[in-house]
């Protein structure tokens, strides 16, 4: 009766990795229970999740190496894996909220989050922001309800909002990865999305975890001012303090929902510990999700979405 935080299946967003092909359901070794799907098998998985009460999903494209290039042009192909899955899901009558990841690391041959500058040493921020607007329009036309830019480019939200509005997609919402740290917890995701950087790292555009919370507050405020409808803090558990501070000081006073991403490394650690009998998996995962809610998250992106829904039912 006096519980302060509660969980429901609709609190969770299920990430799905989609690749070309038919009847593909390929397990990801570093993320037990998670798979790469072809569009047809992704639809079956979405039907299963919807039946459990999971209300939304986010799609990440997995691009064949032969389709990758320096600019990630396959991201703009209206028949790529993400767009094909969106169209199939809408055609199948799936009522879940469709979110798509906006980035280029899965589509570029160098694995960075946008085209590089002429020196080839860093991402061209302004060109990438403009291209993200184009990618957002492609996704919105295919059926995305929400687009989620994850590359941490300056002014990306403004460029996306302007492009969507110019195309008449004024109702397509933006979930900004506003506070995303350069983290070691992303390793398994890069296996799943086949998108590790081929040189260097992403510390020039993702945030330094050694910095004070003031930078996180500023990043969140900028994205909200540019038109973000909701924002995210990523990774999850190591940044609960940031999630709480951003929610209380920036997002909540403006009526903006915040979310947390329980990332691949966090998921993989829990799975490994549970497989070894070192933790009670269900109890530990539920405790973790309550921590996100207690810190202020309105919803949580997690690879445990389906299992959580089963446990809560």
What residues are annotated to the active site? 180, 234
Tokens 């939200």 label which residue? 157
Give the C-alpha separation, 96 to 116, whole Å: 35
End-to-end CA distance of the chain: 19
Give the C-alpha separation, 257 to 228, whole Å: 10
Describe the crossing of helices 125-142 and 156-166 by its angle, rounded to 10 degrees: 40
Query: Which residues lie across from 174 on neighbouring strands?
Result: 147
CA distances to 143, 234, 243, 257, 275 from 237, rounded to whole Å, are 32, 9, 9, 18, 21
Contact 212, 242 (CB under 8 A): no
Contact 149, 128 (CB under 8 A): no
Give the C-alpha separation, 108 to 241, whole Å: 34
Strands 25-27 and 35-37 turn out to be antiparallel
Give the C-alpha separation, 284 to 236, whole Å: 14
């Amino acid at each position: 009766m006096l519980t302060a935080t509660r969980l429901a299946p609709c609190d969770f967003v299920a990430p799905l990795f989609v690749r070309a092909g038919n009847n593909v359901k390929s397990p990801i070794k570093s993320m037990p229970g998670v798979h790469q799907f072809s569009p047809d098998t992704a639809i079956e998985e979405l039907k299963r999740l919807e039946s459990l009460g999971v209300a939304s999903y986010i799609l990440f494209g997995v691009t064949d190496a032969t389709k990758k290039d320096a600019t990630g042009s396959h991201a703009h192909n209206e028949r790529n894996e993400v767009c094909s899955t969106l169209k199939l899901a809408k055609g199948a009558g799936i009522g879940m909220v469709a979110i798509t990841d906006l980035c280029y690391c899965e589509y570029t041959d160098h694995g960075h989050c946008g085209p590089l500058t002429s020196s080839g040493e860093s991402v061209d921020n302004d060109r990438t922001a403009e291209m993200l607007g184009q990618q957002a329009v492609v996704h919105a036309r295919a059926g995305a309800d929400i687009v989620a830019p994850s590359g941490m480019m300056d002014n990306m939200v403004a460029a996306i909002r302007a492009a969507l509005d110019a195309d008449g997609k004024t109702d397509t919402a933006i979930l900004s990865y506003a506070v995303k740290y350069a983290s070691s917890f992303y390793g398994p995701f890069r296996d799943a999305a086949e998108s590790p950087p081929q040189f260097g790292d992403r510390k020039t555009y993702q945030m330094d975890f050694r910095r004070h919370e003031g930078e996180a507050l500023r990043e969140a405020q900028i994205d909200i001012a540019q038109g973000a409808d909701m924002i995210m803090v990523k990774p999850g558990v190591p940044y609960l303090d940031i999630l709480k501070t951003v929610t209380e000081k920036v997002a909540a006073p403006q009526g903006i929902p915040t979310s947390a991403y329980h990332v691949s490394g966090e998921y993989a650690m829990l799975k490994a510990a549970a497989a070894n009998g070192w933790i009670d998996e269900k109890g530990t995962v539920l405790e973790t999700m309550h921590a996100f809610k207690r810190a202020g998250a309105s919803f949580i992106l997690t690879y445990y979405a389906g299992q959580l829904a089963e446990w809560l039912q």
